[in-house]
Amino acid sequence: MTTEAVNRYPVHGAGLGLRRALMGPLADAPPPQVDFLEVAPENWIGIGGARKRAFREFTERYPFVTHGLSLSLGGPAPLDEDFLREVRRFLDEHGIRYYSEHLSYCGDDGHLYDLMPIPFTEEAVDYVAARIARAQDILGRRIAVENVSCYATPGAEMSEIEFVRAVLERADCELLLDVNNIYVNSVNFGYDPEAFLDAIPGERIAYCHIAGHHDEAPDLKVDTHGADVCDPVWNLLESAYRRFGTFPTLLERDFNFPPLPELLAEVDEIVARQRRWAGHPGDYFEARAGAEAAHV
């Protein structure tokens, strides 16, 4: 394996979403199993004083990635280029390694405070890909877009995975693979999540999200990030590792926080599965060992 393979991902190992409710406990006892952290830039751009200093202590200790909430890549309103320039300054100021966003939209003449599905059409592919390309130009770096959970697919002319693949290729961007969203959508729309994984362009995976959801009904799952990760989602993550090798994987939890040891136990689950599948094709750990051996 080459050094290029080792450097494929912006971060490595297991990560955790940094929420303000977690900052105190994490600062008091930095967990060794957490390799990187993630925040939404909207929650920190423009913050000063003690909160900025506290945040800076984390960015100096951990590698960071960011996951945007409000860019609205699929929305009808003009792309917010001023916001993108603020994001670029924020990434540069804090040495943050990566930026990702949702493959969805969340506003027009105002914010909808929800992630709305983009129609799966060729016209939408062209529209969204052009906006992603423009965002990458302004940010001065490639970004990843996340496959999102949704509950309706209005005007669909292709499948979800066909749409995702087309956007990734046309925009020449990367994928933030959300395994829970694959599972949620597979239940809600009755498709095979393993077949969805088979069609993922693994070479475009930048990193991964895993999270819990709410079981509204046997045939309706709601993506909430407010519960423990369930066994079918863990199994799907392992299926992804088996196909693509291990990649950086982050636990998302937005509310209903358990005690920190319980939360970190789920990060431990990520670590255990990464170790179990280390050495598979494209795996970071195998690549790192090969690169180190080459320099002996």
pLDDT score of 102 more than 90: yes
Q: Encoding tokens for residue 119?
A: 């129609």
Side-chain-side CA neighbours of 104 within 13 Å: the count stands at 25
Q: What is the CATH number of the domain that holds 270?
A: 3.20.20.150
- The DSSP symbol for 118 reads P
Domain count, the chain: 1
- The values of phi and psi at residue 82, to 5°, are -65, -40
- Contact criterion met (CB below 8 Å) for 64 and 97: yes
Distance of CA 294 to the CA centre of its chain: 32
What is the distance between the alpha carbons of residues 131 and 122, in angstroms, rounded to a whole number? 14
Question: Which pLDDT belongs to residue 150?
Answer: 81
**Which residues have C-beta within 8 Å of that of residue 258, sequence separation ≥ 6?**
228
Question: Which pLDDT belongs to residue 109?
Answer: 57
What is the distance between the alpha carbons of residues 293 and 18, in angstroms, rounded to a whole number? 35
Q: Residue 50, Cβ neighbours under 10 Å: how many?
A: 8
Burial pattern 149-170, b for ≥16 Cβ within 10 A else e, equals bbeebeeeebbbbebbbbbbeb
Question: Which pLDDT belongs to residue 126?
Answer: 97
Q: Which amino acid is at 95?
A: G
What is the distance between the alpha carbons of residues 39 and 54, in angstroms, rounded to a whole number? 14
pLDDT score of 257 more than 50: yes
Question: Which pLDDT belongs to residue 226?
Answer: 74
Q: Encoding tokens for residue 76?
A: 């009808």
Summarize the confidence of residues 184-188 as an average pLDDT: 91
Q: How confident is the model at residue 5 (pLDDT cuts 50, 70, 90)?
A: very low
- The values of phi and psi at residue 173, to 5°, are -120, -175
Query: What domain range includes position 110?
Result: 3-294
Secondary structure element (H or E) that encloses residue 205, with its range: strand 205-210
